[in-house]
Amino acid sequence: MSVEIVTTKSENSRPVWFIAKNKLAEADLPSSISAWAKAHDFNGQEGRVLVVPTADGSIGGALLGIGSEDKSGQGRLLAGYLGRQLPAGDWHFASTLDDAGLAILAALMGGYSFDKYRENADGAVRRFALPEGINADEIIQINEAVTLVRDLINTPTSDMGPENLEQAVRDLGAKHNASVSAIIGEELLEQNFPMIHAVGRAGSQAPRLIDLQWGDPSAPKVTLVGKGVCFDTGGLDIKPASGMLLMKKDMGGAANVIGLASMIMDANLPVCLRVLIPAVENSIAGNAFRPGDVLTSRKGLTVEIGNTDAEGRLVLADALTLADEDEPEILVDMATLTGAARVALGPELPPYFTHGDDFAVEIAEAADKVADPLWRMPLWQPYEKRLSSRVADLNNVTTDGFAGAVTAALFLNRFVTKAKNWSHFDIYGWVPVERAASPVGGEAQAIRALYYVLKARFAKS
């Protein structure tokens, strides 16, 4: 069942009331609906949806419990449950909401389902009338970008290898009249991207660096870099079977920058946009890179390989070096990079790293504004010495296992010296347990917040 929004409320549209916990008596509901709610022990419990009938037994409306005050701000996404649980048909919000735009977006996001491989997908539709004063086009475009991210991550690697990821970028570029190119296979060595080549050369599809460019070259430069490891076996430092089950999502950073680029181009923001995606498979074969190898990066720094399962930072380093050569106003990289970030903050709260305090505040405020949670973590410089090597300029891992998300960010930091504002996002890209606006599966993280930052900075008044 899909979810849509319509600009005009139909005659058959049914109301949805948002009820806070223990506030049923104050909700000014018709007496028959209040009685129905009490009979079903509904009192605004968070996330509970109760459909209410008319006198003749047909569907008359619904109640959504929004619980108590939510200091995390995630309660503003509870309308996502409506996108999954309401019967098909026309609906509208009967309650006055502080952020109706976010609620309608949550309903759309909550109704997402990945049906590409299902034979009997439900074709029914839930339609929500757009609240007054809400920009329908922007809501639809943001939801389409989130859907694109989720679809890319959810697609198995058999249909989402480096070639397919390149095609996804080309499809997006064609939609927006952007130029798209790719450096593939041995050309990576010829054009000085040795670490991308090393990581991906054992894959069944050739490694590549995908490059999308859009916008006025004289406009402020915004560059997005996304980790596109389409599957990660761990390489010769092989993961256990259980560790590979979700590795189709290891291109989640690439998927998310593609989604953010979609938002930027849909909104026609006055920026010079560049998207760089190193797309590889970290596979095992006779030509796979090895523990103990020393790779020379595009920047000229040599890197000793302490672990082949820390490959994402290697491909990002070459791509970030290229991005940094343009001296962009804003440089963002996104990657499903470390398990340490999940240990520190869990799957719902991605950390971000940046030197710029003002930029960090912009990101934090945007994350709160749009309920796209993020948490700043430190680029703690004293830890950089833990990346030292006896034979090279640096190692790709530490030996003590501490502060893995921080040291990974510090590794990437060595390859960014010219960008005015750089931020690294260590995302999970996956929802392991269903949330209001997020079914289990691939997820867009941080891009709604980043879109808000870029829109606030660059959108024409």
Cα–Cα separations (whole angstroms), residue 405 to 235, 271, 300, 379, 446 = 20, 30, 24, 10, 17
CATH number at residue 217: 3.40.630.10
Nearest-angstrom CA–CA distance, 146 and 175? 17
Q: Are residues 235 and 88 in the same domain?
A: no
Query: Strands, DSSP E only, in 171-227?
Result: 179-184, 208-214, 221-226
Residue pLDDT, tens place only, 287-319: 999 999 999 999 999 999 999 999 999 999 999
Q: Are residues 65 and 45 in contact, defined by beta-carbon separation less than 8 angstroms?
A: yes
DSSP 8-state assignment for residue 260: H
* Max CA separation in the chain (angstroms): 80
Average pLDDT for 61-86: 88
Reported as a single tens digit per residue, the pLDDT across 1-48 is 689 999 989 999 999 999 999 999 888 899 999 999 999 999 999 999
CA 174, 176, 177, 180 torsion: positive or negative? Answer: negative
Percentage with pLDDT > 90 across the chain: 91
Q: Based on the residue annotation, tell me whether 126 is a catalytic residue of this protein.
A: no
Average pLDDT over all residues of the chain: 96
Contact 188, 207 (CB under 8 A): yes
451 phi, psi to nearest 5 deg: -60, -40
Predicted confidence band at 122 (pLDDT cuts at 50, 70, 90)? Answer: low
Lowest mean pLDDT among 26-30, 207-211, 380-384, 402-406: 26-30
Statement to judge: residues 217 and 162 lie in one domain:
yes
Q: Tell me the C-alpha to C-alpha distance, in Å, between residue 128 and each of 13, 205, 401.
A: 8, 43, 49
Looking at residue 71, its pLDDT comes to 61
Which of 313, 414, 435, 448 is catalytic? The answer is 313
Residues 312 and 357 in one domain: yes
In the predicted model, is pLDDT for residue 461 greater than 60?
Answer: no
pTM surpassing 0.85? yes
Q: Is 390's pLDDT higher than 90? A: yes
Of the residues 118, 134, 150, which one is the last residue of a structural domain? 134
Please answer whether residues 91 and 102 qualify as being in contact, where contact means their C-beta atoms are separated by less than 8 angstroms: no
Q: 155: which 2 tokens?
A: 């697609």
pLDDT of residue 175: 98
pLDDT (tens digit, 9 = 90+) per residue, 160-179? 999 999 999 999 999 999 99
Q: What is the pLDDT of residues 223-249, one digit of tens each?
A: 999 999 999 999 999 999 999 999 999
> Do 216 and 291 fall within a single domain?
yes
Identify the CA nearest to 14 among candidates 57, 56, 52.
52
Domain boundary among 99, 134, 169: 134
Same domain, 22 and 148: no
Q: What percent of the chain has pLDDT over 70?
A: 98
Whether 120 and 241 share a structural domain:
no
Q: What is the pLDDT of residue 72?
A: 67
63 and 112 belong to one structural domain: yes
Q: Please state the length of the chain.
A: 461
> Do residues 430 and 285 both lie within one domain?
yes
> Residue 379 has what pLDDT?
98
* DSSP letter, residue 75: G
**Strand pairing of 208-214 and 272-282?**
antiparallel
Give the mean model confidence (pLDDT) for residues 206-210. 98
Please give the angle made by the CA atoms of 44, 47 and 51, to the nearest 5 degrees: 75
What are the Cα distances from residue 383, in Å, to 142, 169, 265, 387, 402?
A: 38, 36, 38, 8, 9
Same domain (yes/no): 181, 62: no
**Residue 75: band (very low, low, confident or very high) from pLDDT cuts 50, 70, 90:** confident
Q: Within this chain, do residues 128 and 148 fall inside the same structural domain, yes or no?
A: no
Instruction: State yes or no: is 9 an active-site residue.
Output: no
Give the chain's domain count.
Answer: 2
Q: Across the strands, what pairs with 282?
A: 232
Mean pLDDT of 442-450: 98
Active-site residue identified among 239, 369, 376, 457: 239
Residue whose C-alpha is closest to residue 213's, from 313, 299, 326, 298: 326
Residue 250 token pair:
């290891």
The residue whose two tokens read 């929802």 is 431
Domain boundary among 94, 109, 134: 134
Same domain (yes/no): 103, 252: no
Same domain assignment for residues 126 and 153? no
Average pLDDT over residues 125-153: 95
Which residues form the domain of 234? 140-458
Asked whether residue 443 carries a pLDDT value surpassing 70, the answer given is yes
For residue 68, give the CATH number of its domain.
Answer: 3.40.220.10
Cβ-Cβ contacts under 8 Å for 80 (sequence gap 6 or more) = 106, 107, 109, 110, 111, 435, 436, 437, 438
Say whether pLDDT at 121 is over 80.
no
